[in-house]
Amino acid sequence: MSQNRVSFWAGVRAEFPLLIAVFPFGMIYGVLALNAGLSPLAAQAMSAIVFAGSSQFITAKLVHDQVPGLVIALTIAVVNLRHMLYSASLAPHLGSVSMRWKALLAYLLTDEAYAVAINEYDRNGVTPSSHWYLFGAGLALWSTWQVSTLIGILLGATLPSNWPLDFALPLTFIALVIPALKDRPAVAAALSAGIIALAAYGLPYKLGLILAAMVGIALGTFLEGRK
């Protein structure tokens, strides 16, 4: 039992530096979700139901633009595709835990929880209590995300409505995308997607966004394959 507890707290501790970055991100989401016209309850519920940062930002924006629900759901699916990779990467380390644990850990599987868990498993291997490590990291992130969303919602209700708060969305995405531009295929993926998004801006239901993303992903993958 106590080994489980040690593993749990080690996961929480490893997650801590990431929480400092996630906290303002959650607050900005809360502010933007209200700004986009979501009710406080819906804004908070999305942090529990979807529980995936960038896709929540995008959903708030698309809801604001009155895009049909099916297109929004499709966009969420594309943006969150990477979780399948995390799932595949962690699967061999979670082979021996019960189905109940798998169901719980899958819910808590985010970029940030994955990052610290895979680092731990690669370094120290798998022990009978190592799923508690992922549980600790995931739960720490989950709690932080819920609380920071709530603070953002409370804050958002008090900010003057003439501030250009919606501009925080492209700014946040710029901050996320720049570090990802590590090589030519990544730059090509980004630029082609951006240009297609402009060219296809007039398409109905914001389908230009999905089209642009698909072209960018395809071009990046093609260029990477040729190397």
In this structure, the dihedral spanned by the alpha carbons of residues 21, 23, 26 and 27, taken in order and rounded to 10 degrees, is -120
Does position 17 interact with another protein (CB under 8 A)? The reply is no
Residues 6+ apart with CB under 8 A from 10: 120, 133, 136
Interacting residue with another protein among 158, 174, 204, 226 (CB under 8 A)? 174
Report CA-CA distances (Å) from 86 to 6, 80, 172, 182, 205. 24, 11, 23, 20, 30
| Segment lying near another protein (by CB under 8 A), choices 5-13, 64-72, 119-127, 150-158 | 64-72
| Segment lying near another protein (by CB under 8 A), choices 4-12, 67-75, 115-123, 141-149 | 67-75
Number of separate helices (H) and strands (E) present in the chain: 11, 0
Does position 151 interact with another protein (CB under 8 A)? The reply is no
| Segment lying near another protein (by CB under 8 A), choices 10-18, 54-62, 122-130, 139-147 | 54-62
**Closer residue to another protein in complex, CB, 5/166:** 166
Does position 159 interact with another protein (CB under 8 A)? The reply is no
Q: Which of residues 82-141 bind another protein (CB under 8 A)?
A: 82-88, 90-92, 94-95, 102-103, 105-107, 109
**Closer residue to another protein in complex, CB, 85/157:** 85
CA angle 33, 35, 37 (to 5 degrees): 75
